[in-house]
Amino acid sequence: MEEQSGAGLDIEDISSILQGHVPDRYKFNPMAPFQPDEQKASRPASLQEKIHCVVYVIDATKISIMPDKLQEKLASIRRKVNSLGITQIVLMTKVDEACPLVEENLQSLYVSSYIKSKVQEVSSRLGVPVSCVLPVKNYSQELELELNCDVLLLTALQQMLRFADDYFDDIRSVEGNPK
């Protein structure tokens, strides 16, 4: 995601992706927004073509220095996603690099006041509930798997799947089809 307008994906490109109007393997051009095929755009996309959960990935070490333009672009995307009723969550990465206490012992993640303040900062800057900000540690230099890191990553993945499942439940209730 680029902070400048006209750079990176256009907001309308993101809207087309969310609604399932972009063909598989389409190559985006930052100079020309995606133009949906008139015939395809006029019909509603199938449920399998639509996005069911949006995940933002934010570096915990950089959230405080996020440029205003990027924050505005993310807010614009968030408004569009909200209008479509799609759940949004944030993976806050590199928590070990952000906090020496957590770097020393990943199990101290949930007692770290610094990480708690970062989660709250991400929540307020991006406009998502604190419960939707999931702190994780990246694998970067490890040669072996780390159980505590895996638990965080798998918990985040499980939460994403729950939110996607909730999206289907919401669709069923709107369509009047109980489980």
One digit per residue, the tens of pLDDT, for the chain of length 179 reads 555 555 667 778 888 888 888 878 888 777 777 777 654 555 677 778 888 899 999 999 999 999 999 999 899 999 999 998 899 999 999 999 999 999 999 999 999 999 999 999 999 999 999 999 999 999 988 899 999 999 999 999 999 999 988 888 777 776 666 55
Domain boundaries, the chain: 1-50, 52-175
Fold of 52-175: Rossmann fold (3.40.50)
User: Taking phi first (over 0 means left), then psi (-120 to 50 degrees means alpha), and beta for anything else, what does residue 45 get?
Assistant: beta
Cα gap 179→170, rounded to integer Å = 10
- Neighbouring CB atoms inside 10 A of 80's CB total 17
* pTM tops 0.85: no
